[in-house]
């Protein structure tokens, strides 16, 4: 099955994070230089389009994946 990819505008870039290769992407990591002076150029969004973290430094933005899940009920 072929997938079509739209070419991002100049200076923008991003990639998707998949749980398994045959599924839809779980997260999208993007760089948008137009937002660099305001909210930060880097962002992580989920499949619903909600921004999970945004910032100026990619290393800080990727820390959203370092959070540990907690068991709340057995």
Domain-located, residue 42: yes
Predicted pLDDT of residue 74: 65
Domain-located, residue 73: no
Domain-located, residue 74: no
- Domain count for the chain: 1
Kindly give, in sequence order, each residue whose CB lies less than 8 Å from that of residue 47, ignoring residues fewer than 6 positions away.
24, 25, 26, 27
1-10, 42-51, 61-70: range with lowest mean pLDDT: 1-10
Among 58, 6, 48, 50, smallest CA distance to 24 is for 48
Helix (H) or strand (E) holding 1: none
Domain-located, residue 8: no
What is the four-CA torsion angle of 65, 61, 8, 3, rounded to 10 degrees? 0
Write the pLDDT tens digit of every residue in 13-51: 888 888 887 888 888 999 988 888 888 999 999 889 899
Predicted pLDDT of residue 53: 93
Domain-located, residue 5: no
Q: Which domain holds residue 52?
A: 13-66
Domain-located, residue 21: yes
């Amino acid at each position: 099955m072929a997938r079509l990819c739209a070419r991002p505008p100049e200076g923008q870039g991003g990639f998707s994070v998949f749980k398994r290769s045959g599924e839809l992407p779980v997260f999208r990591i993007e760089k948008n230089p137009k937002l660099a002076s305001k909210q930060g150029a880097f962002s992580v969004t989920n499949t619903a389009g909600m921004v999970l973290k945004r910032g100026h430094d990619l290393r800080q933005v990727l820390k959203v994946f370092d959070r540990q899940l907690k068991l709340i009920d057995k």
